[in-house]
């Protein structure tokens, strides 16, 4: 088992397969940004598979494919198929904006993908265009419908709340998720890079209380994956509301995850600039044991907690660079 210097078990690896995206969400990718990683620096599927095998051998059980938009990575279904057949990979999920999901949902399900998270910050055409830069509503809804038809259950809808932008969409999103049996997760915006800091985050504590009261929700013991969300549920158990509060009520003491960028860079914390480059050892003649030892050394760089509150200007990289 991978255990960091603070005694936390690391059992969750999030893997970015591309930093490219077909949307330009205002808190994720700066307007006019073009400094994407060159494809020649991306880890190959063989390299990603090797990394996952070593993490799985050390007790990591949960893996998530992210981006950018992971469905833009060519042959992504093949990667899902390969990773799901690794011993120890108990849970493989994927985060997507759903614009390409209608084309891939059925194949992803057949390849063994366990779960889907869909980023959707508004249900209005105007809201989606304001946040993402594109009128993508129809594609997103078609993607969600295709995922349901393919057989995916408990699809999570991730809604990042932005002050003055989408607070008025919360009730609509609750009703939408109730109707479609989606799990809604409200997320506080993290100040990742200059583009995210242009927005003001919304403290979720009062928001959750209002929704809990309005829809008669009760605390839930279910976790729905390996992430940090805390959940409420309806009295009949048919609707779940999660909330992720990295600023108003951080969960650093139980953080169980690290991220790997598309070029193989390991980031131990979203709120810290410490990182570790795996690519050099992957492209050398290092043994699997040497690779595992390198991963252990990287884990030791994981800080006790983030500095988003004390040092909001600390993180200069954007979310797409890090991996979702």
d(CA 321, CA 313): 16
Tokens of 228: 């940090």
119 is in an annotated binding site: yes
34 is in an annotated binding site: no
314 is in an annotated binding site: no
Contact between 130 and 165 under an 8 Å Cβ cutoff? The reply is yes
Contact between 127 and 121 under an 8 Å Cβ cutoff? The reply is yes
58 is in an annotated binding site: no
> How many other CB atoms are found less than 10 A from the CB of residue 178?
16
Contact between 118 and 100 under an 8 Å Cβ cutoff? The reply is no
d(CA 267, CA 261): 8
> How many other CB atoms are found less than 10 A from the CB of residue 17?
26
> CA 222, 225, 228, 231: dihedral to nearest 10 degrees?
-30
β-pairing verdict for 12-16 and 257-260: parallel
64 is in an annotated binding site: yes
258 is in an annotated binding site: yes
Number of H helices, E strands in the chain: 11, 12
27 is in an annotated binding site: yes
21 is in an annotated binding site: yes
DSSP string, 256-298: -EEEE-TTSEEES-TT---EEE-HHHHTTT--HHHHHHHHHHH
285 is in an annotated binding site: no
Phi, psi of 198 (to 5 degrees): -75, -20
177 is in an annotated binding site: no
255 is in an annotated binding site: yes
Residues 182-221 as b or e (16 or more Cβ within 10 Å = b): bbbbbbbbbbbbebbbebebbebeebbeebeeebebeebe
214 is in an annotated binding site: no
Residue set of the binding site for GTP: 14, 64, 95, 156, 257-259
Residue set of the binding site: 14, 21, 25, 27-28, 64, 68, 95, 119, 156, 190, 252, 255, 257-259, 269
Residue set of the binding site for S-adenosyl-L-methionine: 27, 68, 119, 190
Residue set of the binding site for [4Fe-4S] cluster: 21, 25, 28, 252, 255, 269
């Amino acid at each position: 088992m991978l255990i960091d210097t603070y005694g936390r078990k690391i059992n969750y690896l999030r893997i970015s397969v591309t930093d490219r995206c077909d949307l330009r969400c205002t808190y994720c990718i700066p307007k006019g940004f073009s400094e994407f990683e060159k494809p020649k620096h991306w880890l190959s599927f063989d390299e990603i598979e090797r990394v996952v095998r070593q993490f799985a051998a050390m007790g990591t059980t949960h893996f998530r494919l992210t981006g950018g938009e992971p469905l833009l990575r060519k042959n992504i279904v093949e990667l899902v198929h390969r990773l799901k057949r690794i011993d120890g990979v108990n849970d493989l999920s994927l985060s997507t904006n759903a614009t390409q999901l209608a084309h891939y949902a059925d194949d992803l399900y057949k390849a063994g993908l366990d779960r889907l998270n869909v980023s959707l910050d508004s249900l209005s055409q105007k809201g989606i265009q304001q946040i993402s830069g594109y009128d993508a509503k129809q594609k997103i809804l078609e993607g969600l419908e295709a995922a349901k038809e393919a057989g995916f259950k408990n699809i999570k809808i991730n809604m990042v709340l932005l002050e003055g932008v989408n607070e008025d969409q919360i009730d609509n999103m609750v009703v939408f998720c109730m109707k479609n049996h989606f799990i809604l997760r409200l997320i506080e915006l993290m100040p990742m890079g200059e583009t995210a800091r242009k927005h003001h985050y919304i403290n979720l504590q009062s928001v959750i209380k209002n929704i809990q009261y309005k829809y008669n929700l009760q605390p839930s013991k279910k976790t729905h994956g390996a992430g940090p969300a805390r959940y409420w549920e309806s009295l009949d158990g048919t609707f779940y509301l999660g909330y992720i509060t990295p600023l108003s009520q951080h969960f650093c003491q139980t953080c169980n995850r690290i991220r790997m960028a598309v070029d193989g860079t390991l980031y131990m914390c979203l709120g810290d600039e410490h990182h570790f480059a795996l690519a050099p050892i992957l492209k050398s003649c290092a043994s699997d044991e040497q690779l595992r030892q390198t991963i252990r050394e990287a884990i030791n760089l994981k800080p006790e907690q983030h500095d988003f509150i004390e040092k909001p200007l600390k993180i200069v990289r954007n979310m797409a660079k890090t991996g979702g």
